A = this chain, B = another copy of it.
């Protein structure tokens, strides 16, 4: 691309560094901002800088938070002895949206992935083990995605806490509510048969 202005070119290049945004899209976004009142751009820029500078991670669960302890961990109504282990803040938001979980979270910040050089020490696993050993935890729920990396991470954590008497569970896998059996993938359908639940339990929700 032949830019008529270095300032324009610089802005396009910076925007195009974002994942999934190519140069053409970046140019479209930048020209859109140029068309808008200055406040739009300054608001956007300061929101991004604020994000990077002011955001905190909860000391308990490592979730993104404005306070040293996040709202969920600080909530006296939540069951602090029930911990759901998730990958990132999006998973917390997804589970919170269901309004079915009354415990607290532990955000790992990723999954063990040797191919990308992410080992246990890059995640918040140590802090989880410390929590398990030092406070009254009754149950850990694994809610990582069921990929090779997710399963590896689950297993690694499970091995670390095996000797404690804590109950460890994973979220149920099966056929999504409303899905047709004939279109379900084999693995999910197979698991849903092996891990069938008493019919009375399925009536609870």
A51 touches B4 (CB 8 A): no
> Are the CB atoms of A65 and B5 closer together than 8 Å?
yes
Kindly state whether residue A166 has any CB partner on chain B within 8 Å: no
**Docked complex: A1-52 residues within 8 A CB-CB of B:** 1-8, 10-11, 13-15, 17-21, 25, 27-34, 38, 40-52
Q: How far is the CA of A23 from the CA of B93 in the complex (A)?
A: 13
Produce 1/0 per residue, A38-77, CB < 8 A to B. Answer: 1011111111111111110000000111100011100000
Query: For the complex, is A89 an interface residue (Cβ under 8 Å from B)?
Result: yes
B49 contacts A4, C-beta separation under 8 Å: no
* A34-B18 in contact given A4-B72, A4-B92 (Cβ < 8 Å): no
Tell me which of B6, B21, B42, B44 contacts A66 (CB under 8 A): B6
> How often does this chain occur in the complex, in copies?
2
**Known pairs A34-B51, A41-B51. 10 more at Cβ < 8 A?**
A4-B63, A4-B70, A7-B47, A7-B51, A11-B48, A18-B32, A30-B48, A30-B51, A38-B53, A41-B52
Would you mind naming 17 contact pairs between A and B with Cβ atoms under 8 Å apart?
A: A1-B93, A2-B96, A4-B89, A5-B64, A5-B70, A6-B66, A10-B51, A11-B50, A17-B44, A18-B33, A19-B28, A19-B29, A30-B48, A33-B48, A41-B52, A42-B49, A45-B45
Residues of chain A touching chain B, judged by Cβ–Cβ distance below 8 Å, are 1-8, 10-11, 13-15, 17-21, 25, 27-34, 38, 40-55, 63-66, 70-72, 88-90, 92-93, 96-97
